[in-house]
Structure 1
Amino acid sequence: MSIAFTFPGQGSQAVGMGKDLAEAFPQARAVFEEVDEALGQKLSDIMWNGPEDQLTLTANAQPALMAVSMAVMRVLEAGGLKLADKVAYVAGHSLGEYSALCAAETFTIADTARLLRIRGDAMQSAVAVGEGAMAAIIGLEQVDVDAVCTEARDAGVCQIANDNGGGQLVISGSRAAVEKAAALATEKGAKRAIMLPVSAPFHSALMAPAGNAMQHALAQVAKRDPVVPVIANVRAAPVRDADEIAQLLVTQVTGQVRWRETVEWFAANDVTTLYEIGAGKVLTGLARRIDKTVTGIAVNTPADIDAALKTLLG
């Protein structure tokens, strides 16, 4: 039986996140200061005080969520945790893969913040506002969602962006095609097909310009092999070569986040506990729905950190 650390993606952000950590732990404060300095922006002020619409902007939400995850990691490390000694694998949902790699020492905190700012800006600018869309399809199997995406492609780009498990798949692409696919999914028996309030069609072929931007950025940044393997989003299998990881991060921009398969891989490989490191509890809830043999534990408050350290080091 082994343990993995998972790291949340966009949508887990909330005004006020990380403030209790900064007030309680100097190691957490140092992370937020390092991210602010790396970005040349008081991102921590937006995180703690809002406004919410500024925090939700992709270019802010991505480094902000990483900052909270790494604040938790630094406090755990100060409490005596050595990742390579206690944790078998790391994984993160979309931008959370960068947090996972930062935790596993592939990238520094400052470089991860800058990479995520580039990623957020590039994703936002890849498609004109209003031209792309995403929708959550609830209650259809992946093969059926693939079929409606294929059928809708006469109206534009349409593909599965996230397989989140528990009967929830997210599709992404051109607005007309996604709207058509959502309607087709309802006709095929989906419980719900919900257009999502997002600013761009993430993890679709329309993100190709952002993929190019990340290829350039990742080629310039210093990187090292992670101290524990990362389960890559687009492969749902472990990787530990830094150059291969960088290429998979480029693929991830336009590729599918295979989260259901990631959790299933954990379950099949004797990983029984997933600690969700950072804001919110989204991944903890998904783990429960995907495989009941896997326990999810959210770690984002001082009390959570104390409990985790007792369990992990006890």
Structure 2
Amino acid sequence: MMRNMRKGTRLAVVTLQHSRRHLTGHTAAPGARKTAVLFPGQGAQHVGMGADIYENFKAARDVIDASDEAVGGGLKKLMFEGPQQTLTSTENAQPAILCHSIALLKVLETEFGFDINSCTYALGHSLGEYSALVATQSLSLSDAIKLVRLRGEAMHRSVDSGKTTMKALIINGDHLEDIEALMSKIERSLPEGEVAQIANINSRSQVVLSGTSKGVDYACSIIQTKGYAGRALGLPVSAPFHCDLMQPAADEMKPALDGASFNDPTIEVISNVTGMPLGNATEIQSLLHQQITKTVQWQRSIRYAKDDDVHDWVVIGPSRVLANLLRKEFPTDAIRAVATAEDVQQHGPHLCRRKR
């Protein structure tokens, strides 16, 4: 049943996209330059993250100290000093990445007058969707930090991480749809207890598989044998996100999401689940719940923004991976990655002039 639901969601993204765009009123004006702000997800964590902006900017200190307090202490020390293995554990990586992303955003706002409301869209990759909601005032920083800490703890409790994995596949040529179709067949053919599903569609050249180690290895080998993909790269994560194995985590998160206070975002936030803008607060809660087990439709989310004439992209957070994907997809676009204090100084003066 769950696998059929996942397939249905992918089809819905395609069939509803044009009607939803009409309802939201986004049509690209010829010659206009629009901006989207992006926030990274897990895998972006590293020891020392945020230490440079904490030292140099009061706005960063305020965010990092508030985040540390929200989880009862220890987060700041872990971000700055590690160890890496503990930081990578999902219950720590998630609040750390959100904290760092929002700290960078607040520095850009206070030091350079960057206004996210001058942008057209905000997007966040998986965990980064919470960062996007904080950035657009849909969710408070304190509530978001507590939610993603719980999200990480619930994910950690859901599985035996020693028997699960996530692997990125580099797609050969234009075989994304072939891989999606093949994965539907592979899912149905796996032995009882084995899981392999598409966790992320990051671009037309990269997908990520998630599930049990045996299931994912088997799926990778079939896809590679078909010639649809080349290398399979293991990811530095502690749980198999965005697959059926995360259903216990989704069940645990639902009451917390239902009880959290959400506002309508100040600009449109594109959903990981649908690849289209989120609606009201109730829909946000529902989609954040679904997001835990469903495929991150990142490529379709980016395509939605691009089809609305977005040419300027700002990636805010402790990783340049999303910026690198954009550069490969849209080599002539303006793409800025803000991950460090040096990046803030380099890009801040330009970002204050971003226009919708």
Task: Specify if TM > 0.5.
Answer: yes
Task: Write the distance in 2 (CA, Å) between the matches of 1:12 and 1:72.
Answer: 14
- After TM superposition, list the pairs within 5 Å mapping 1:2-81 onto structure 2: 2-79=34-111, 80-81=113-114
Question: Bigger CA drift: 122-131 or 219-228?
Answer: 122-131
Alignment of 1:24-173 (within 5 A): 24-79=56-111, 80-84=113-117, 86-140=118-172, 141-153=175-187, 154-155=190-191, 156-173=194-211
Q: Distance in 1 between matches of 2:96 and 2:155?
A: 16
2:355 is aligned with 1:308: no
Deviations 1:156-211 (A, max 9, x none): 32211101115111111233221211111121112123344532211001111111
Quick one: which amino acid aligns to residue 173 of structure 1? G
TM-score, structure 1 normalization: 0.94
CA contact (8 A) 1:185 1:193 kept: no
In structure 1, what is the Cα distance between the partners aligned to 2:98 and 2:203?
23
Q: Could you say which residue in structure 2 is the equivalent of 1:252?
A: 291
CA contact (8 A) 2:75 2:92 kept: yes
Amino acid at match of 1:83: I
Deviation at 1:293, TM superposition (A): 4.4
Shift of 1:304: 2.4
User: What runs of 5+ residues in structure 1 fail to find an aligned partner?
Assistant: none
- Cα distance in 1 for partners of 2:61, 2:105 equals 12
Deviation (angstroms), 1:146: 2.4
Alignment check: 8 A CA contact 1:137 1:185 kept: no
Match of 1:290 in 2: 329
- In the other structure, the counterpart of 2:275 is 236
Q: Deviations over 1:198-248 (max 9, x none)?
A: 322110011111111221111111111111110111111112412211111
CA distance in 2, matches of 1:223, 1:9: 20
Determine if contact 1:267/1:293 at 8 Å carries over to the other structure. Answer: no
Is 2:208 the partner of 1:176? no
Counterpart AA for 1:313: C
> Percent same amino acid among aligned pairs?
41
Q: 1:188 aligns with which of 216, 226, 239?
A: 226
Code of the residue aligned with 1:103 in structure 2: it is A
Change beyond 3 A, Cα 1:293–1:252: farther
In structure 2, distance between residues paired with 1:185 and 1:196: 18
Structure 2: tracts of 5 or more residues without a match: 1-32
Question: In the TM superposition, what is the alpha-carbon distance from 1:39 to its structure 2 partner?
Answer: 0.2
Aligned length: 313
Task: Confirm or deny that 1:224 pairs with 2:256.
Answer: no
Whether contact under 8 Å (1:126, 1:209) holds in the other structure is yes
Q: Matched residue of 1:311: which SS?
A: helix
Q: TM-score, normalised by structure 2?
A: 0.84
> What CA deviation, in whole Å up to 9, does each residue of 1:76-125 have, x standing for no partner?
221323321x2111001110000110111111111111000011011111
- Secondary structure of the 1:5 match is strand
The one-letter code sitting in structure 1 at the alignment partner of 2:321 is: V
Q: Contact between 1:228 and 1:240, CA under 8 Å: does it hold in 2?
A: no
> 2:52 & 2:234 partners in 1: Cα distance?
34
| C-alpha distance in 1 between matches for 2:340 and 2:126 | 22
CA shift digits 1:254-312 (9 cap, x unpaired): 01111111222221111111101111211100111223343321012233223433223
Whether contact under 8 Å (2:43, 2:236) holds in the other structure is no
Structure 1 pair 218–145 and aligned structure 2 pair: CA distance change class (3 A): same
Kept after mapping to 1: 8 A contact 2:114/2:352: yes
